[in-house]
A and B are shown apart, each in its own frame.
Chain A
Amino acid sequence: MTLLNPILFWAAAACVSIPVLVHLLMRRRRRPVPWGAMQFLLQAYRKQRRRMKLEQFLLLAGRCLLVLLLAAALGKPVLGAAGLAGGRPSRTVYLLVDNSITSGALLDGQTDLERSVGFAQTLLDGLDGGRGDRAAVLALGGPAEAVVWPPSRDASSVREALRDVRPTDSRADLVGALDRVRSDLPGAQSTGEAEVVLLSAWREGSADLSAAIQALPGRVRVVSSPPATAEPGNVTVTEVRPLRSVVVTPSSDAAPIPVRLAVTLRRTGPGVSAGASIPLVVRTGDDGPSLSSEAVFAPGQAEWTRVVEVEFPAARAGQGALRATAGVPSDGLDGDNARRVVLETRERLRVVVLTADRLGVASTIDGFTPADWLALAIGPDADVGVRRRQDGDLTIETQDPARAGGAGVLAGADAILIPRPDLLDDAGWRAVGELLASGTLVVVFPPPAAQTHLWPEAMSKGLGVDVAFAREAAVHTPALAVSPVTSTRGLLAIIGPELPELAKPVSVSRSLPLLPGGSPEPLLQLSDGTVLLAAVPSGGGAARGLLVVSTVAMDLSWTDLPTKPLMVPLLQEVVRQGVGRAAGNGVCEAGVSPVLGPGVVELVRIGAGEGPQRSAVSQGRLEVPIRHAGYYTARAASGVAMGEIAFDPDLGGARLAPAEPGQLSRWLAGLGAEPEWIGAGESAPGRAGASKDPPISFPLLAAALVLAAAEAVVARFASHASVDREEPAR
C-alpha cells in the first residue's frame, strides 16, 4: 500500500494506542469496592462473562479501528488501480527524454532537447503529488541514464533535474530506458495508472525504426511528442583517419612530425543543393598548431574527403600519443562538428621473427629460408647476416621458436612473424597468444616443408582465435595469379591503387586453404577466389591484437612472391598498419564501452568537458559510461598512463532526417498501446483538467464516521446506561 501522507498516517496510527492506554490507566486508578453480596455478583458475572468480554473486545477493536481509519484518512493510502481511498487513481509518468546527439539539433532557435524539456515541464504541471502522482525521468542518451529514479512525487526536484539534462554525443538508448520502465511498471500499475511519455524529435538517429520494439506489460498509456517536421542544415566531420595509426619517429629527431590525416565531411539538410565553403580546422594536441583549410562543396555534393598533413611539434615524439581534432563551425547540430583521433607514437617498431635458422647463411637464392625472405622484405637495405638488425624505424630480431614460451623472450615485440609455426610448442603459442591479446600483431605463414599441417590446431588453441586450415596443401597447376581485394580501410589501403600492378607477376603454385568459419578479412586472394592473406580479429572479444594469416609459405616452392616487387610493400604495410590496428586505433564512439586492455583501472578525462572526469574500469569494462566526446587517458593501478582513447560522437545516432510519422506510429504501437501524440497547441493530452485532491481521504473519513456512530451505539449498549434509569426490583 502506498501512502500519500505517510508521516501523518504513522503519527495518527500511533494514536491507536490511546484507547489501550486509557483503558490501562483507568484500570490502575480505580479503587477497589468492598462488597458484601459478592456471591450474587459472581453468579451474575458467570452468566454474563462471555457477553461482556465480547462487548469489551468489540468496543476496543472498534475504537482502535476508528483511530486507524482516521489515520488512514489523513494518510491517504492509494489502494489499487481504482484509487479506492483517494477518489481518482494516482498516475506514474515515465518521462523518457531524448538527450542523444540528435537532441542538440537546432531549429528555429530551439534545440530538440529544449523542446522536449518544455513538453516535460508542462506535463509536470498537470501532476498532483498530493494525489500520489509520480514522475520519473530517464535520459535516453546512450546508455540510458536514470535522472529521476525511482518515480518521485516531488515535482519541483523533477523540474530541476530536467533543467540539468544536456545533450550527449551518444545515440539514443530507447531499449535500455524501456527495459528500466518495464521493471518498474508492475509496481506502478498496482497503485494507479502508468504512462510512458516519449519526448523526442524522432529523427533517424533517435531510434532504429526497422527493429521491432518489445511491448510493455499490462495496461499502459503511451504518449509521444510528434516527430520533427524539418531537418536543419548540418555538416558532419564523419572521419579523421590517419593514414598510419602508429607514428614511428626517433626521439632524437628534432624535426616536426608530419602526420597525414584523411578528413571526410558530409553535408545534410536543405542546403546540400547549393554550393558551400566550410572552414575546416585541424588542431594538434591541446595547444598545438592548427591547420586551417576550406572544404569546398559543389552544388549537390554531400561528401568531401581530403588528406591533410599536419605537423606535430617534435617534442611530442616519444612522449605518448598524438591527438588531432578536426572541426567545422557551429551549424544545425554541434555535437558532430568535431572528430578526434589518437595516434600511437613509437621510436621504432620491434619485429621478432621466430625461426631456428640463422639469417643470411644461404649464398644462393634457392637456399633462402622463409625467415630470410621476411627479413629481407622488412629491412631490404640492411646487412644480410646480422642477427639483430636495426633498419631505420624497424628493428628485426630472431628468436628460436622452441624458446618462445620462455619468460620475457617475446616481451616488447610490436609484431611477431612466424614462418615456421610447426616449431612452436604449446607454451610458445600461449606466450604469443598473451602478446596478441595485449595488442601485438602476429603474422603466421605455413611451414614450407610440412606434408601434414597439424600446427593450426595448436595455434587456434594457443591464440584463442577461430581460424582453421586444411591439413594438406593444395597444389595449383598451373600456378594461380594473385588478385587484390579492393578496400579503402584494409591494411593494404595505402598501396591499394598500386596493388593490381604489383600483384600481376606473382604466381602461387601451392597453398594451404583456409577452411570456412570465423570472420577473416581477406587482404589478398588467389585468382580462384581462395584467400592468400587474411586479417583475423583477435578472439576473446578484445578489440586489441591482430592476427594475419597467410595461406602461402614464403618459399619459392610455394610461390614466387618473395622474389617479386610486391613482397616489400606488402610486408611493410602489413607490419606498419597491422601494428597500429593491433594496438587499437584509440578511437571509440561515445556511449559505447570499449574493451580495455588488462591492467587499465580507470579512464581520466584530458581537459575540461561534459561527462565524468574519471570512470573506473572493471574487468576491461567501464563502470561509468562515457556519453560525451573527448580525450581520455587509460591509467593503471600504479597511475602509469597506458595509452589514450578518443571518444567521438556517435554518427549513427546523429542522423537528422525526421522519421516518417506513419512509420513511427506503427513502430510505437509495438509497445502495446496506440501512441497518443502531444499536439502542437496542447501541452499534454488530458493534463489540463487535472484538479487537486483534498488533503484528506473523504471515503475513509466517511467510513470512520460510520464506525464512530456504530461504536457509539455499541458503547451505549455495552455500557448499559439504560439500566440506570430502571428501578431496581425490590
Chain B
Amino acid sequence: MPEQVQRPPEVDASLYLHPQTLARLASLELRAKMIVEGFASGQHRSPYKGSSVEFAQHRPYVAGDDLRHLDWKVYGRTDKLHLKQHQQETHLDLVLLADASGSMMYGSRSFEDASGEGVKASIDGRATWSKFDHATALAAAMAYITIQQGDRVGLGIFAEQIISIIRRSSSSATWRQIVGALATHPVNPAHAGRKASLVRVIDQTLAKVTNRCLVVLLSDLFMDIEEFREGLARLRHAGHDLIVFQVLDRREETFDFTDAAPFVGLEGEDALRVDPRALRREYLQVMKEHTSEVQKACLGLGFDYQRVCTHDWLGPPLAAYVARRNAMIKRGKFG
C-alpha cells in the first residue's frame, strides 16, 4: 500500500475514516488510500490476505471447462469429474453509481470545522463538507479495495441521467480514472435543480453491463419512492446485487433549525418561508417514512441498505461492503 502521507505513529489509522480527517486531504486519491489503510488496519484479520489462493469449492465438470482445473484426487476417489475452484479465480465486478444531483450539494458541516486545521474551503471553493464529498470518498475507497483485490470496478456518475461513466477494469489506471472522474465531476451547477432519475440511470447502466455485478448506489435517495422501487426491480430482474448507501447530512436528519428563514430547494423548488420549528415534527415524520420505505424496498428485494451520515466515519459502510462482497464470493455467485 503506497504511503503518500507520513502518519504520526500515535495516530489511530481508523481516524482516516472520519470526515474531519478526510476533509484535510486535498487529493481524493490520497483520501481513498488513507481510508482503506485505516479501514484495513482496524481489522483483526485481513480478509484479503492470501485469499487469492484459498480453495473455494468443487463443481461438476461440464464440457468446455479448462481441464487444468480438474481435481484428479476427487476423480480417483469417486470416478467423477469435478473442477476445483480457488478464490483467486472468482472475480467481482463492482459498479459504483454516484448521485450528483442538486440535493447532494447540501452539507451543513463547515469545511473548517471538519478539517480542524484552518482549511476553510475545499479545492473548488466550497465551505461545507457536502454529501457528494462524503459519497465520493466512500466510492473511491471501495474502488481502491476492490482493485487491490484484483476485481473490476466501474463508475457511473449520474444526475437525471448518467453524466460520466468509467468502464469496468481491474487495472490501477482504472482506479485513477475513477478517482479523477469523481474529483472532476462534482455536483455541477448545471445539474443543480435536476432530480435524479433512477430508472433512467439503471436502464443506462444495464445497457452497459451484461454480466452480473455488485452495484453500489451512493445517493441521498431524494426521489420518488415508486421510481426507486422500479429501478431496484429492474436491477433484481437483471440478476445484479445491490448495496444502497443512503448518504444524508446530519442536519437533514435532525432539522434543528431555530430561526424562520426562506428555504431554497437545490433541485429547482421554490423558496419556502417557514418557521422550521413549526414544521420539524412533521418533516421528521415525512423523512422517516421515506427512509423506511427505501429500506423496505431494498430489503424486500434482498439488497443491502446502509444509511451514511456525513458527520460519521466511513467504517460501517465499508464493513458492510466488504461483508457483502465476501458473502457473494462465498455463495459463488460470480463463479
Contacts and interface: CB of A to CB of B under 8 A. Distances in A.
A30 interface: yes
A45 B273 CA distance: 10
Interface in A33-57: 33-45, 47-48, 52, 55
B303 interface: no
A16 to B, nearest CB: 22
A58 to B, nearest CB: 13
Contacts of B222: 36-37, 39-40
Given A32-B261, A39-B222, A728-B254, A719 B249 contact: no
A41 B265 CA distance: 9
A723 B281 contact: yes
B79 interface: no
A724 to B, nearest CB: 7
Contacts of B103: 36-38
B24 to A, nearest CB: 24
A34 B193 CA distance: 12
A724 B275 CA distance: 13
Given A33-B263, A38-B265, A719 B275 contact: yes
Contacts of A31: 261
A40 B291 CA distance: 11
A534 B115 CA distance: 129
A724 B256 contact: yes
Contact of A36 (B249, B254, B286, B288): B249
A25 interface: no
B262 A32 contact: yes
A26 interface: yes
Contacts, number: 118
A720 B284 contact: no
A34 B278 contact: no
Given A37-B103, A38-B266, A723-B280, A730 B253 contact: yes
Interface in A696-730: 718-721, 723-724, 726, 728-730
A52 B274 contact: yes
A718 B262 CA distance: 18
B290 A40 contact: yes
B278 A55 contact: yes
A27 interface: yes
B274 A41 contact: yes
Interface in B14-72: none
B201 to A, nearest CB: 18
A721 B255 CA distance: 13
A604 to B, nearest CB: 77
B334 interface: no
Contacts of A36: 102-106, 131, 220, 222, 249, 252, 265-267
B163 interface: no
A205 B282 CA distance: 88
Contacts of B269: 38-39, 42
A54 to B, nearest CB: 11
B263 A721 contact: no
Contact of B253 (A721, A724, A728): A728
Nearest to A39: B222
Contacts of B319: none
A27 B275 CA distance: 11
A730 B267 CA distance: 24
B264 interface: yes
A730 B275 CA distance: 22
A42 B264 contact: no
Nearest to B269: A38
Given A39-B269, A44-B285, A718 B278 contact: yes
A32 B257 CA distance: 13
B166 interface: no
Contacts of A38: 103, 263-267, 269, 272
Contacts of B267: 36, 38
Nearest to B105: A36
Contacts of B262: 30, 32-33
Contact of A729 (B257, B272, B278, B284): B284
Contact of B257 (A33, A52, A726): A33
A35 to B, nearest CB: 4
Interface in A575-593: none
B183 to A, nearest CB: 21
B275 A720 contact: yes
A42 B286 CA distance: 10
A30 B284 contact: no
Given A30-B262, A36-B220, A37-B287, A728 B255 contact: yes
A42 B271 CA distance: 10
B259 interface: yes
Given A719-B275, A719-B278, A730-B253, A40 B283 contact: yes
A720 B281 contact: yes
Contact of A35 (B258, B266, B277, B284): B266
Nearest to B292: A729
Given A30-B262, A724-B258, A728-B256, A42 B281 contact: no
A339 B281 CA distance: 98
B131 A44 contact: no
B106 A34 contact: yes
B260 interface: yes
Contacts of B290: 40
B254 to A, nearest CB: 4
A34 B284 contact: no
Contacts of B280: 720, 723
A592 to B, nearest CB: 78
Contacts of B288: 729
B327 interface: no
Which of A33, A719, A729 has its CB near the most chain B CB atoms (within 10 A)?
A: A33
A41 B272 contact: yes
A468 B285 CA distance: 108
B283 A41 contact: yes
Interface in B263-322: 263-267, 269, 271-275, 277-288, 290
A38 B279 CA distance: 12
Contacts of B253: 728, 730
B121 to A, nearest CB: 16
A48 B220 contact: no
Nearest to B255: A728
A634 B103 CA distance: 100
Given A32-B262, A36-B102, A729-B284, A27 B273 contact: yes
Given A36-B131, A45-B274, A30 B261 contact: yes
Contacts of A720: 275, 277-278, 280-281
A30 B278 contact: no
A178 to B, nearest CB: 64
Contacts of A718: 275, 278
Contacts of B264: 32-35, 38
Given A36-B131, A36-B266, A40-B286, A721 B277 contact: yes
A283 B295 CA distance: 125
Contacts of A27: 273
B160 to A, nearest CB: 15
Contacts of A723: 277, 280-281
B286 A43 contact: yes
Nearest to A52: B278
A56 to B, nearest CB: 8
Interface of B: 102-106, 131, 220, 222, 249, 252-267, 269, 271-275, 277-288, 290
30 contacts: A30-B261, A31-B261, A32-B263, A32-B271, A33-B263, A34-B266, A36-B102, A36-B252, A36-B265, A38-B103, A38-B264, A38-B266, A39-B265, A39-B269, A41-B272, A41-B279, A44-B279, A45-B274, A718-B278, A719-B275, A719-B277, A719-B278, A720-B277, A720-B278, A721-B277, A723-B277, A723-B281, A724-B277, A728-B255, A729-B284
Given A36-B249, A36-B265, A728-B256, 12 more contacts: A30-B260, A37-B106, A37-B220, A38-B264, A41-B283, A44-B279, A47-B286, A48-B278, A720-B277, A723-B280, A723-B281, A728-B284
Interface of A: 26-27, 30-45, 47-48, 52, 55, 718-721, 723-724, 726, 728-730
